[in-house]
């Protein structure tokens, strides 16, 4: 017990260093100060002093045991950016003072077919950034904390001048939409991309789509979002999915649809919007099964596919592309002591469009 908190168990305390963050202790999801430990920097590792960390909706699921797999205490956070403060002797890509980030994973088996194809995100042995057991048997703790130690392979380098606070959400939200756009050929000028939902994922999908030179149509149940989508985010068109006339006028016009919605919903009406052989790409994760009529798929050879984040090579490519094209998230920067209120607001989708914790200025072990 340390300062009233349970410190992380370690096979070898001699190879640990103190760390501080905020953790949830039970399914109430309430976060509070937490003292724990990280491994010391190894020869292939970089240590990052965390400056900012985005709040993802999956953090809310984790702290409240929404997926029934939470092991407490949990330090959430997988949209981590900061400055490199230590590098191992075998590290080649990073030097002291570099800006670096850590996304949704911190390890993988490095030997399977998926890892060989730079798709560590699909590795059966992929280890996520928090609420998991790392290769050394210790618990992984996320970015609502002062520092993180990670193998160089799983760190992302941020170009100089890139705004770190607004770029942090790209390590999850950004790669989640960028990867399927690339994989399914939607990164070509002139393609027509539909984006279902205008939240943390959706607004970044609009920005990447426009950066690729595509035509982007936002599809939403809320007519009130039309002005936001078109005038501020730059979407080319807006469809109210509850308006049958608007929907029918767009039948067969889209090459692909990025579906960001995590609530239970009927995807059938949107399938009619796809061109022949088009894909609806699921990046949202509804907890209830989808109900799908087969005929919209059969008539036109359409498909529904899934995608989750991206590999490390692709994540670095995404960050470099975002820096070149000035793609960042729209955020609300908050202090660490506001985190529980932010979680309450996130549950009500009361954020435009991503909360980011100002770790460097507001996290204190005092």
Check residue 8 and give its pLDDT: 39
- pLDDT tens track for 166-220: 999 999 999 999 999 999 999 999 999 999 999 999 999 999 999 999 999 999 9
Give the integer Cα–Cα distance in Å for 69 and 62: 8
Percent share of the chain, pLDDT over 90:
88
What are 120-173's pLDDT values in tens digits? 999 999 999 999 999 888 899 999 999 999 999 999 999 999 999 999 999 999
Average pLDDT of the residues of the chain:
94
- Produce one character per residue of 247-280: b if its CB has 16 or more CB atoms within 10 Å, e if not: beebeeebbbbbbbbbeebebebbbbbbeeebbb
Chain-centre distance of CA 40, in angstroms? 26
pLDDT at 61: 93
Residue ranges in the chain whose pLDDT is less than 50? 1-11
Q: What does the pLDDT read at residue 111? A: 96
Q: Can you tell me the distance from the alpha carbon of 334 to that of 355, in angstroms, rounded to the nearest whole number?
A: 7
Instruction: Specify the pLDDT at position 366.
Output: 52
**What's the rounded Cα separation, in Å, for the pair 248 and 3?**
62
């Amino acid at each position: 017990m340390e300062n009233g908190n349970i410190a992380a168990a370690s096979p070898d305390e001699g190879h640990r260093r103190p760390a501080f963050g905020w953790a949830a202790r039970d399914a109430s999801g309430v976060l509070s100060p937490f003292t724990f430990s990280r491994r010391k920097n190894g020869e292939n590792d970089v240590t990052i002093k965390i400056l900012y960390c985005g709040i993802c909706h999956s953090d809310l699921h984790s702290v409240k045991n929404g997926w029934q797999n939470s092991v407490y205490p949990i330090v959430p956070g997988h949209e981590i950016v900061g400055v490199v403060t230590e590098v191992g002797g075998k590290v080649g890509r990073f030097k002291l003072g570099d800006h670096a980030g850590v996304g949704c994973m911190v390890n993988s088996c490095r030997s399977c077919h998926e890892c060989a194809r730079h798709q560590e995100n699909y590795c059966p042995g992929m280890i996520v950034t928090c609420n998991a057991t790392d290769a050394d048997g210790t618990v992984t703790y996320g970015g609502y904390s002062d520092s993180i130690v990670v193998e160089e392979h799983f760190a992302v380098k941020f170009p100089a001048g890139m705004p770190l606070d607004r770029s942090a959400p790209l390590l999850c939200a950004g790669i989640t939409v960028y990867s399927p756009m690339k994989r399914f050929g939607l990164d070509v000028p002139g393609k027509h991309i539909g984006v279902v939902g205008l939240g943390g994922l959706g607004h970044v999908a609009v920005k990447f789509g426009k950066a690729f030179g595509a035509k982007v149509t936002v599809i939403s149940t809320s007519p009130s979002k039309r002005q936001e989508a078109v005038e501020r985010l730059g979407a080319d068109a807006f469809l109210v999915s509850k308006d049958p006339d608007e929907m029918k006028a767009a039948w067969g016009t889209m090459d692909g649809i990025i579906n960001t919605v995590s609530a239970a919903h009927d995807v059938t009406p949107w399938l009619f919007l796809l061109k022949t052989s088009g894909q609806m790409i699921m990046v949202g994760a509804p907890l209830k099964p989808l109900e799908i009529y087969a005929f919209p798929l059969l008539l036109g050879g359409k498909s529904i596919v899934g995608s989750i984040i991206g590999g490390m090579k692709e994540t670095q490519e995404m960050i470099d592309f975002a820096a070149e094209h000035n793609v960042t998230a729209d955020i609300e920067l908050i202090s660490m002591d506001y985190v529980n209120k932010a979680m309450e607001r996130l549950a009500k989708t009361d954020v435009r469009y991503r909360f980011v914790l100002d770790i460097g200025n507001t996290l204190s072990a005092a």
